[in-house]
């Protein structure tokens, strides 16, 4: 890319770095705009990333050239940084919170995904008469479901389940719905406390789990490095390995349909355990919370930039208003049903409820927003407890929808 008449030339890897920082600047500026107390926050980065991809990377002769592999590296690096940070922060209180609300988390996770699957099936029966190829239509809808729930594992499972000629339909559906899937949940967790006029100090007290151990004991442990990079890296390495383990669900062994925790689930699980135990023998694996908060925000930013730019490159080409409408339905239905069920049936406190909703919707960006809204990291425990249930459920639901419909 040449600027100012060729005086400035940006090529190769520099284009990727230039793009990342441009999106960062304008994304945070957009996210800072506040209307009646509601703002996009870090999700503003995702919107700018989509626009950037649509303007500069779309069409037969794009203005910029960035490889999809490079964007995937940015996305995955951000994902690992974010979920590992969440796991380390939530770890000390996670198992206490899980023990207290174990049944509620399981039931709520299942309810949310079931509502999303039923909404997807309803859209199929409502719109199949207007589509020439029902198989392509269901592939599109399942892609929309995975995008509405911002679920990469469900997206991958759907692509593996459909016939090869319909994989593009899954990809397009996922990209179309991903925008509202991110923005919808981000706005939801900000608007609900305002609508209910919640006393946030009281809500923080209801969700808080006081941890009286570790502080005195931790002083006796040996720190490998002052910033905890070694412990963080170890959790990421083990988590990526755990997430890559594939469990056969159908077909001939690993050649058929398989399930895995993926990088997200594997790293989250490992970081939760690291954060919970805090040490391995005499070696400390505890990381300062301020460092983890920086990692968490930085990781979320990279994740949204990588996913947003790649999605924006194809968004304009395949967008249809009716598909976006389906995405709105598949985002709002499970979220509203889950919230109402948690509030009136499970009797969860507001922040426990919203934390569980972000986990049930598998919404990484919404968790980052909710932490800022709530003013406490304790909501991450509810997210982390509900997330695995939702992760498994949405993968299976996507596959069943394709097979049954």
The domain limits of the chain are 80-299+319-404
Nearest by Cα to 210 from 96, 292, 381, 286: 96
Ramachandran angles phi, psi of 347, nearest 5°: 60, 35
Reported as type and span, the H/E element at residue 185 is helix 167-195
Judge contact between 164 and 132, C-beta under 8 A. no
Q: Using alpha carbons only, how large is the chain's radius of gyration in Å?
A: 21
Element spanning 258, H or E: strand 258-259
The Cα–Cα gap between 195 and 41 comes to 19
pLDDT tens for each residue of 281-291:
889 999 999 99
Q: How many residues does the chain have?
A: 405
Q: Which helix (H) or strand (E) holds 289?
A: helix 289-318
Is the Cβ–Cβ distance between 174 and 147 less than 8 Å?
yes
Does the pLDDT of residue 212 top 50, yes or no? no
Whole-number Å distance between alpha carbons of 321 and 54: 17
- What the block records as the tokens of 241 is 């390995």
Report strand pairing: 38-39 vs 34-35.
antiparallel
76 in Cβ contact with 306 (< 8 Å)? yes
pLDDT higher than 60, residue 217:
no
Whole-number Å distance between alpha carbons of 187 and 210: 29
* pTM of the complete model: 0.75
**pLDDT: which is higher, 85 or 207:** 85
- The pLDDT score that the predictor gives to residue 215 is 44
Residue pLDDT, tens place only, 146-176: 989 987 667 766 776 788 888 878 878 887 8
What is the mean predicted confidence (pLDDT) over 211-225?
A: 64
pLDDT of residue 121: 95
Higher pLDDT, 234 or 36: 234
Which of 13-22, 98-107, 272-281 is the least confident region? 98-107
Band of residue 315 on the pLDDT scale cut at 50, 70, 90: confident
Helices in 8-67 by DSSP H: which ranges? 13-32, 43-56
DSSP state, 224?
Answer: S
In this model, does residue 5 exceed pLDDT 70? no
> Each residue of 173-196: pLDDT tens digit?
887 888 788 889 989 999 999 999
Determine the average pLDDT of the residues in 120-132.
91
Q: What Cα–Cα distance (Å) separates residue 383 from each residue in 255, 274, 346?
A: 32, 17, 16
pLDDT at site 91 = 84
Whether 83 has a pLDDT exceeding 90, the answer reads no
Rounded CA separation 168/317 (Å): 12
């Amino acid at each position: 890319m040449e600027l100012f008449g060729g005086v400035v030339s940006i090529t190769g890897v520099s284009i990727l770095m230039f793009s990342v920082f441009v999106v960062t600047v304008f994304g945070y500026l957009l996210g800072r705009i506040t209307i009646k107390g509601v703002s996009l926050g870090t999700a503003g980065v995702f919107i700018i990333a989509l626009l950037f991809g649509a303007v500069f990377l779309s069409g037969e002769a794009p203005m910029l050239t960035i490889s999809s592999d490079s964007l995937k590296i940015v996305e995955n690096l951000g994902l690992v940084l974010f979920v590992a940070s969440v796991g380390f922060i939530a770890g000390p209180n996670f198992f206490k919170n899980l023990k207290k609300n174990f049944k509620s988390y399981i039931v709520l996770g299942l309810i949310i995904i079931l509502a999303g699957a039923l909404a997807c099936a309803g859209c199929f029966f409502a719109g199949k008469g207007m589509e020439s190829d029902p198989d392509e239509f269901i592939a599109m809808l399942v892609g929309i479901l995975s995008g509405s729930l911002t679920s990469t594992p469900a997206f991958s499972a759907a692509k593996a389940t459909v016939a090869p000629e319909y994989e593009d339909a899954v990809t397009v559906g996922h990209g179309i719905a991903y925008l509202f899937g991110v923005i919808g949940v981000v706005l939801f967790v900000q608007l609900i406390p305002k609508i209910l006029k919640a006393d946030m100090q009281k809500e923080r007290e209801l969700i808080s789990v006081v941890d009286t151990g570790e502080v005195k004991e931790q002083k006796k442990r040996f720190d490998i490095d002052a910033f905890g990079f070694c412990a963080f890296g170890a959790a990421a390495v083990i988590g990526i390995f755990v997430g890559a383990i594939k469990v056969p669900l159908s077909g001939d062994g690993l050649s058929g349909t398989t399930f895995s925790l993926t990088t997200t689930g594997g790293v989250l699980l490992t970081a939760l355990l690291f954060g919970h135990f805090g040490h391995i023998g005499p070696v400390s694996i505890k990381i300062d919370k301020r460092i983890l908060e920086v990692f968490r925000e930085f990781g979320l930013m990279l994740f949204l930039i990588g996913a947003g730019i790649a999605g924006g490159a194809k968004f304009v080409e395949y967008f249809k208003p009716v598909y976006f409408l389906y995405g709105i339905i598949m985002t709002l239905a499970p979220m509203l049903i889950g919230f109402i069920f948690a509030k009136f049936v499970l009797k969860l406190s507001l922040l426990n409820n919203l934390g569980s909703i972000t986990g049930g919707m598998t919404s990484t960006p919404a968790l980052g927003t909710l932490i800022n809204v709530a003013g406490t990291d304790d909501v991450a425990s509810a997210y982390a407890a509900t997330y695995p249930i939702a992760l498994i459920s949405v993968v299976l639901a996507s596959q069943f929808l394709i097979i049954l419909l």
